[in-house]
Amino acid sequence: MKLATALFLSLLLATPTSAWQKSKSQEDAGQGKGKHPTPVDVDRGSAKDLETPRRAGTDRSRGRDQRPEPAKLEPLSLDGVRPLTKIGRVLLAGQPGPAAMEALIQGGVDRVIDLRTEGEDRGFDEPARVEALGAKYASLPFGGPVPLTDAIIDDVRKALRRYRSEGKGKLLIHCASSNRVGGVWLAARVLDEGVPWEVALEQAKSAGLRSQKYIDYVRLYVLGGGNHELGEWIEKIRKEYPDVKGISVREFARIWKPGKKSDASKLPLLIDVRKPAEFEVSHIRGAKNAPSPEAIKGLLRDVPKDREIVVYCSIGVRSAKMAKELASMGYRNVRNLEGSVFEWANTGHPVFRGDKRVHEVHPFDEEWGRMLRRDLWADAAKK
């Protein structure tokens, strides 16, 4: 009974707030009666309070954003789980004990994602306990010898998107100390909610993130638009071509609005430097294909040296080389699209074959194609 009493007295209630709203709530001390632990109240706001913009206009690679800072995480106090923080309908936590898990589920948690590995001792049969209490249990294990992967982050992001869009139920994500939780939540915060990297990183640390290994992995995953290997290549290209200016896919998407003749002169000249066979499968709308220095010279014969130019290829290697070549020819305003058409398509931006929108991209080959979503591979390349 001492445990139950401690739960009653230590429980703090907090009003859910949107990721972009300042908190207007004050913490209340929660008390309860009876033999069961007091439920954690995580549903005192309306569904409207939970709305957050998706894929907001943030240049994540440079951390620039014009919106107000997002609200800080709201801590909850509950015996049997440390730390425990909340934003909207999502709770981020260390390992809950059995009584704390009951309180959380009675308070509205209907799905639990456990990031701990099979060999870690939870102190009780968590899957059986969660399901007996009427919630769903999912295991996405990593930690120690089990590495963090893109697939784990992808699955967590899907769950978070569902809870944001449905406006009902609560999601609990936990590991042993919330270190791993902070890592995967960090990626979702930046890519799906448009929170600047520096702000999201500090929030993730407040939620429990401590591991530099996870921070480094997520940073490259974010840089690659949800693909760690692509992020690694973007970083390699930056180091190999330090004088080539880059533009992120997110930033380019904000300025690239082709289709209106009156605006054509205000847009950059977009050049696809891939081979014609790749270009013919699909390309970014409005791009000109120029796969060689000779083709580039012909295309730019009457183009002023100060014209804004953006070049791209599959991931940015060939286009970085071409951007360097253009600079040697005297063009002063050339940028390389980082992540190029792979990241563009991976993150849901449209590609075209002629005037028709299609949903496939040439993967170049099996090795490089690992950085392109498999469902976007051109049909001929899938065979």
Residues annotated as catalytic are: 313
Cβ 108 vs Cβ 39: under 8 Å? yes
Tokens 């549903």, residue located:
43
For residue 186, how far is the Cα from the chain centroid?
7
Instruction: Say how far apart CA 124 and CA 307 lie, in whole Å.
Output: 65
Which strand (E) or helix (H) includes residue 34? none
CB count, 10 Å around CB of 118?
A: 7
In the three-class reduction of DSSP (H, G, I as helix; E, B as strand; rest coil), residue 92 is classed as strand
Instruction: Say how far apart CA 367 and CA 8 lie, in whole Å.
Output: 56
Which strand (E) or helix (H) includes residue 171? strand 170-174
Taking Cα atoms as reference points, which of 39, 157, 18, 149 lies closest to residue 87? Answer: 18
Phi, psi dihedrals of residue 123, rounded to the nearest 5°? 85, -5
Tokens 């769950």, residue located:
159
The bridge status of strand 28-29 relative to strand 12-13 is: antiparallel
CB count, 10 Å around CB of 33?
A: 8
Q: How many CA atoms lie within 13 A of 307 on its CB side?
A: 20
Instruction: Say how far apart CA 105 and CA 101 lie, in whole Å.
Output: 6
